[in-house]
Amino acid sequence: MARVKGGPRAHARHRKVINNAKGYYGRRKNCFRTAVQAVEKAGQYAYRDRRAKKRNFRALWIQRINAGARLHDLTYATFMHGLKLAGIDLDRKVLSDIAIREPEQFATIAKTAADALKKAEKAA
């Protein structure tokens, strides 16, 4: 019986890895062994950073909201508390976008939040 080496299968597997390693520097892009290591490590970084990206953007949105709120004599925490008391349900992504692109609209939102805080203070 003839021996089967599985050439086409192995070639396809190698080609898949080499294609994923396109653009890498040095032997990482064309030597199978090093390309396998590089592609696996890249996958680990991609997996980790898909989660880190969400944290980074949330932190950025909070910084932008804080900067906008401080222009109206509110801290981030008091601004967010005022929004909750006023019943305004906008997420941080939208609030930061409004703070950057439409400062007049953000000013009215901040005023509403401040009024809600004052009303809650009087009630307590």
Amino acid at 16: K
CATH class in words for 7-123:
mainly alpha
* pLDDT given for residue 17 in this prediction: 97
Query: Where do the domains of the chain lie?
Result: 7-123
Q: 40-51: per-residue pLDDT in tens?
A: 999 999 999 999
**Could you tell me the pTM of the whole model?**
0.81
Give the C-alpha separation, 1 to 39, whole Å.
38
- 64 closest CA partner among 94, 99, 105, 109: 99
Q: 103-114: per-residue pLDDT in tens?
A: 999 999 999 999
